Amino acid sequence: MRRSSHLLQVTFSLLISILCLIILFGRDEIPQIDPSNHVLTNIMGSTSQNRPQKPTTGSKEDFTWGRCGRNESVANVSGFSSLPGHIQDFLFYRHCRHFPMLLDVPDKCGGPDKSIDVFLLLVIKSSPLNYERREVLRKTWAKERLQNGLWIRRIFLSGTTGSGFEKRKLNKLLRVENREHNDILQWDFNDSFFNLTLKQILFLEWMDKNCRKARFLLNGDDDIFANTDNMVDYLQSLKDNSGDKHLFAGHLIRYVGPIREPRSKYYVPVQIQESDSYPPYCGGGGFLLSAYTAVVIYKMSQTIPILPIDDVYMGMCLEKAGLGPESHIGVRTAGLPIPSTKVDAFDPCYYREIILVHRFLPHQIYIMWHGIHEPDLKCGNLLS
Ligand SMILES: *[C@@H]1O[C@H](CO)[C@@H](O)[C@H](O)[C@H]1NC(C)=O
Ligand SMILES: *[C@@H]1O[C@H](CO)[C@@H](O)[C@H](O)[C@H]1NC(C)=O
Ligand SMILES: *[C@@H]1O[C@H](CO)[C@@H](O)[C@H](O)[C@H]1NC(C)=O
Ligand SMILES: *[C@@H]1O[C@H](CO)[C@@H](O)[C@H](O)[C@H]1NC(C)=O
């Protein structure tokens, strides 16, 4: 009796394995025969660009997408061979906008149809290695909670790091984290500085599909300190805008252009952008926007070639839509002006009034979050 049921089990497992193999090989062939694959998506917005994304069928690792190949003709552009390696790499893959999704949280906003009332979606760019930062954010300013009776939700955006077993190990880390926290969107592309715009666009595409009804978004890095309590107060106080009208606010930057110094992290040669000026934009450490504006930016992005500097690219999309970014005094991505070196730059009193500051270490975030919530915190009028 036991033996025969064991035999049955073995036969059954074998059958399932064979079936899986058939399915796997079948899927592998899809990219070659599928006319809608995005191997070379035209950056100027061909028809395939506007085609809705193929459903991901809920599977965690969706390999039905073809790999996007290099555009070899960029090598003919004048001066190409003297460009730094990462710039050449950028140009080779600039047209690639679709990558397989490795981790998804389709229910973050309740799914496409029955949207949960998310008031503020925290959208945080985080590369796989930044585990400590994510852990601290989950416990502090990015905690999912009801604030003033309104929902704050959190999502991390990630690509992949390294190759071979290093890459697999880090993917596993994110998988485990996501199983516990349900807060990671991950795509299979190299999570490098020059791919941050790609990450942004992939998120906007996801949002357009899965989270259109969220009211507002905080879009930022994982090394910021965000006073999300104040953020909700501010967004709630907006007159006749509940996310359905334009809002794009942060640390406003104007009258600047591409840095032409090859050694700079932000180096953008004429081969990437000829014009010497950037439109107004908000520093990418963190900015607030309405869901309305996020969707507009996504639409615009479909016809604007990728610029590797993600915050400037947002400015370009806004400009094309005839909209503009605005300054919010509480967003200090360039840091806080602390009056003297004699005072503690991490005095919670400075941070009670702001909504966002850039460049905090995990332990500083942890201390500050608890500091500003001390019930007996006593402050003078420090910031005025
Ligand atoms: C560019 O380079 C490719 C191969 O590297 C070559 O076939 C082609 O003729 C060149 N010119 C243009 C305009 O693409
Ligand atoms: C490939 O690069 C060339 C030269 O920069 C450009 O004209 C062309 O539009 C690119 N093709 C795609 C599909 O992006
Ligand atoms: C990812 O990009 C960085 C920066 O361009 C590069 O140094 C690294 O080798 C890339 N990694 C992979 C696996 O391609
Ligand atoms: C962006 O990611 C793709 C896919 O991993 C990679 O081929 C490309 O080199 C990356 N671009 C940069 C500039 O790192």
Ligand 4 geometric centre to CA of 89 (Å): 7
For residue 75, report the distance from its CA to the centre of ligand 4, in Å.
16
> Looking at the DSSP assignment, which residues form a beta bridge with residue 184?
156
As a whole number of angstroms, the distance between CA 230 and CA 329 comes to 12
Sheet of strand 224-226, all strands in order from the earlier edge strand to the far edge = 224-226, 356-358, 331-332
- Evaluate if residue 59 carries a pLDDT over 90: no
Burial classification of residue 120, based on how many CB atoms lie within 10 Å of its CB (0-12 exposed, 13-18 middle, 19 or more buried): buried
Residue 350 has pLDDT above 50, yes or no: yes
- Are both 144 and 214 inside the same structural domain? yes
**Does 76 contact ligand 1 (Cβ within 6 A)?**
yes
- Are 299 and 349 found together in one domain? no
Asked if residue 197 has pLDDT above 80, the reply is: yes
Contact in structure between 314 and 297 (CB atoms under 8 Å): yes
Report how far residue 153's alpha carbon sits from residue 134's, in angstroms, rounded to the nearest whole number: 14
Residue 284 has pLDDT above 70, yes or no: yes
Residues 236, 363 share a domain? no
Region for 352 from its dihedrals, namely left if φ exceeds 0, alpha if ψ lies in -120 to 50, beta otherwise: alpha
pLDDT in tens, 175-196: 999 999 999 999 999 999 999 9
Asked whether residue 287 falls in the same domain as residue 345, the answer is no
Nearest to 104 by CA among 191, 187, 185: 185
* Residue ranges in 162-210 assigned as alpha helix (H): 164-181, 196-210
Going by alpha carbons, the residue nearest to atom 11 of ligand 2 is 71
- Which candidate, 307, 316, 322, 314, places its Cα nearest to that of 287? 314
Residues 322 and 337 in one domain: no
The burial class, CB within 10 Å (0-12 / 13-18 / 19+), for 76 is: exposed
- Tens of pLDDT, residue by residue over 200-242, are 999 999 999 999 989 999 999 999 999 999 999 999 999 999 9
Closest atom of ligand 1 to CA, residue 76: 1
| Structural domain containing residue 359 | 331-372
Residues 130, 266: one domain? yes
118 domain residue, yes or no: yes
pLDDT confidence of 25, banded at 50, 70, 90?
very low
Angle at 64 between CA 60 and CA 69, to 5 degrees: 120
Share of the chain above pLDDT 70, in %: 79
For residues 311 and 205, state if they share a domain: yes
**CA–CA distance, 20 with 112 (Å, rounded to integer):** 29
Total domains present in the chain: 2
Give CA–CA dist 270/209, Å, rounded: 35
User: For ligand 4, which residues put their CB under 6 angstroms from it?
Assistant: 86, 89-90, 93, 189-190, 192, 194-195
